[in-house]
């Protein structure tokens, strides 16, 4: 289980190798994504808080990167943080997310990106629930809900 010390270590020393790498030109990403998806994921934007119904959606399933389809989060790790963005306590695997020190806007934070394609997802904070204490605060527009496989 990831914890804040491990996240900080990865942000400072380098991330784990992803299972695969997806690289596209800006033109290829623009052709694939909506203008808002492109702004958030490829230009490190942020969507307005409470702008997505995904904040209040708590049903079983998985969440993938909207850019490359890499699985990022399991709904069982989702919680209502009250922040206006979907929040999770853990990614589906330790190498699904990449961590980067972020000193923008006069703050010190840890940015989270898709470790496969580099899409900006949001930030992670050390104020989540036990046992990890992590709050992955994600832009809903950077995620896509994956339909569960039929039983």
Q: Which residues are catalytic?
A: 137
Nearest to 112 by CA among 97, 102, 127, 126: 97
Backbone angles phi, psi at 120, to 5 degrees: -70, 130
């Amino acid at each position: 289980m990831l914890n804040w010390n491990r996240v900080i270590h990865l942000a400072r020393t380098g991330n784990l190798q992803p299972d695969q790498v997806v690289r596209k030109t800006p033109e290829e990403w623009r052709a694939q994504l909506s203008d808002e998806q492109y702004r958030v994921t490829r230009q490190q934007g942020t969507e307005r808080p409470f702008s997505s119904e995904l904040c209040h959606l708590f049903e079983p399933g998985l969440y993938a990167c909207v850019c490359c389809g890499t699985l990022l989060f399991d709904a069982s790790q989702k919680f209502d943080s009250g922040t206006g963005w979907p929040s999770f306590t853990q990614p589906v695997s330790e190498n699904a997310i990449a961590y980067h020190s972020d000193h923008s806007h006069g703050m010190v934070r840890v940015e989270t990106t898709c470790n496969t394609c580099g899409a900006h997802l949001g930030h992670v904070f050390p104020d989540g629930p036990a046992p990890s204490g992590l709050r992955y605060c994600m832009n809903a527009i950077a995620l896509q809900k994956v339909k569960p496989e039929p039983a």
